[in-house]
């Protein structure tokens, strides 16, 4: 294994609309175990941001603690980053977002970081509909501390030492739906084709976007009997739909058979094109999406794809009616509108 990244780039590498090649979106060389699902997700994030021509300095990466939470070091070196305390990423993201609404907030967490120590913070960031992407790299164990079962390990699943998990799993996607999440998707680290358009759609969603991505831990939870191993997940994934993400400027030209395609227009003019596979499921209907998720779970299947989206989502800034500008752009005149405005306000309170 080499720890030095080559700086050679093929001169014919394609460039995005900003003139950058994909390496501009990479991060440091990964120190995760070879084959770790988290690295595949990092590669999908790099690809999605490159394809969308995002200016890296417009992204703020946030995470907690864990192998998953180390991931932001491995993508978007040219972005802002904040590695918080274990389970505390949501409160830091909330503060940063309220101070500067102009950035894209990209949170990365693990199932331990989110579903155990961070649960209290997670539920509140969902119900507040903070405008951010919250990606859980879900491997059903605490990888960084050597593979203890996490709260998302399925009941009956076996860990590497052969111990059977006795407790019910917390299903983060269902929980988020229950709490009123406005964008919920699931995927598998080994399915880049599905993950990249989901990431793009999540970054364009105005509000909280949960991505629960099954990401096997090859070192501590990839054994027979685990329900988060590569083999188990490959055999039990069921996709709701294949999807494309169509940016605003691009004309939608392809046409598909009526009934099999669903174009979802997003708040910013972009489009999610769904090629429906699952029957009896409507991603715009919370009850239908929840039913589909429960049905899949009862069969031991992992439903992937965009599960639910609320296109009328109103984020925390709208709810709180905050200023349109980031706080550091407010000038004296914005902050102090003068004595006549103050007199008027006082009069209204008398
Ligand atoms: C306050 C505190 N408690 C416990 C720990 C120990 N610890 C570090 S990472 C971790 C869990 C990581 O699991 P997960 O979030 O699933 O990430 P993974 O490593 O599996 O990607 C724990 C318990 C800590 N760092 N800080
Ligand atoms: S211990 Fe597991 S989660 Fe951590 S880097 Fe290794 S394979 Fe990935």
Lowest-confidence segment of 159-168, 273-282, 283-292, 339-348 by average pLDDT: 273-282
Closest ligand to 110 CA?
1
Q: List the residue whose alpha carbon is closest to atom 8 of ligand 1.
A: 66
Distance, CA 104 to ligand 2 centroid (Å)? 27
Residue 3: its pLDDT value, please? 65
Residue 250: its pLDDT value, please? 60
Does 32 contact ligand 2 (Cβ within 6 A)? yes
3-class secondary-structure state, position 287 = helix
Distance, CA 166 to ligand 2 centroid (Å)? 23
Return mean pLDDT, the chain. 93
Distance of alpha carbon 148 from alpha carbon 160, whole angstroms: 9
Closest ligand to 152 CA?
1
Q: Which CA distances in Å does 341 have to 329, 330, 333, 336, 346? A: 21, 17, 12, 9, 9
Tens of pLDDT along 208-223? 999 999 999 999 999 9
The pTM (predicted TM-score) of the whole model is: 0.94
Confidence grade of residue 97 (pLDDT, cut at 50, 70, 90): very high
**Which stretches of 100-240 are assigned E, i.e. beta strand?**
104-110, 132-138, 141-142, 148-149, 183-188, 208-214, 237-239
Judged against a pLDDT cut of 60, whether residue 59 lies above it is answered with yes
Residue in 263, 258, 256 with CA at minimum distance from that of residue 306 = 263
Residues facing residue 75 across a β-bridge = 26
Residue 267: its pLDDT value, please? 81
Question: Candidates 37, 39, 85, 110: which one to mutate for ligand 1, based on the most atoms within 8 Å of Cβ?
Answer: 110
Q: Are 203 and 104 in contact (CB under 8 A)?
A: yes
Closest ligand to 70 CA?
1
Distance, CA 125 to ligand 1 centroid (Å)? 20
Distance of alpha carbon 348 from alpha carbon 333, whole angstroms: 21
Residue 258: its pLDDT value, please? 46
Helix (H) or strand (E) holding 59: strand 59-63
Residues 6+ apart with CB under 8 A from 109: 63, 64, 66, 68, 69, 89, 118, 122, 134, 135, 136, 137
Distance of alpha carbon 180 from alpha carbon 108, whole angstroms: 20
Q: Which atom of ligand 1 is nearest to the CA of 86?
A: 26
Residue 334: its pLDDT value, please? 87
Residues 6+ apart with CB under 8 A from 136: 68, 109, 110, 111, 114, 172, 210, 211, 212, 213
Confidence grade of residue 276 (pLDDT, cut at 50, 70, 90): confident
- By DSSP bridging, strand 148-149 and strand 141-142 are antiparallel
Q: List the residue whose alpha carbon is closest to atom 1 of ligand 2.
A: 143
Q: Which atom of ligand 2 is nearest to the CA of 221?
A: 2
Q: List the residue whose alpha carbon is closest to atom 1 of ligand 1.
A: 86
Residue 8: its pLDDT value, please? 81
Question: Across residues 59-74, what is the average pLDDT?
Answer: 98
């Amino acid at each position: 294994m080499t720890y030095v990244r080559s700086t050679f780039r093929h001169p014919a590498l394609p460039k995005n609309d900003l003139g950058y090649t994909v390496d501009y979106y990479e991060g440091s060389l990964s120190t995760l175990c070879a084959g770790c699902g988290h690295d595949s997700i990092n590669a999908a994030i790099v690809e999605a941001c490159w394809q969308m021509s995002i200016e890296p300095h417009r992204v703020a990466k946030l995470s907690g603690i864990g192998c998953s939470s180390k991931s932001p070091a491995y993508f978007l070196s040219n972005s802002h980053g904040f590695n918080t305390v274990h389970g505390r990423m949501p409160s830091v993201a909330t503060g940063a977002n309220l101070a500067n609404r102009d950035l894209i907030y990209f949170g990365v967490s693990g199932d331990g970081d989110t579903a155990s120590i961070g649960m209290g913070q997670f539920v509140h960031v969902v119900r507040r509909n903070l405008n951010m992407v919250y990606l859980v790299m879900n491997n059903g164990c605490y990888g960084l501390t050597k593979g203890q079962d996490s709260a998302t390990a399925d009941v009956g699943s076996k860990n590497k030492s052969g111990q059977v998990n006795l407790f019910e799993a917390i299903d983060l996607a269902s929980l988020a739906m229950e709490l009123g999440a406005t964008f919920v998707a699931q995927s598998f680290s080994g399915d880049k084709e599905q993950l990249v358009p989901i990431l793009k759609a999540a970054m364009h969603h105005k509000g909280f976007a949960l991505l629960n991505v099954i990401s096997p831990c090859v070192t501590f939870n990839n054994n027979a009997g685990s329900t988060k191993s590569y083999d188990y997940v490959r055999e039990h994934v069921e996709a709701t739909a294949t999807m494309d993400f169509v940016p605003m400027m691009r004309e939608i030209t392809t046409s598909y058979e009526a009934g099999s395609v669903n174009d979802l227009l997003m708040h910013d003019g972009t489009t999610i094109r769904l090629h429906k596979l699952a029957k009896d499921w409507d991603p715009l209907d919370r009850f239908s999406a929840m039913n589909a998720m429960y049905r899949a779970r009862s069969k031991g299947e992992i439903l992937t794809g965009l599960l639910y989206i609320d296109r009328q989502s109103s984020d925390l800034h709208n709810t709180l009616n905050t200023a349109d500008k980031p706080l550091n752009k407010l000038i004296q005149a914005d902050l102090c509108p003068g004595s006549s405005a103050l007199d008027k306000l006082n009069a209204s309170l008398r």
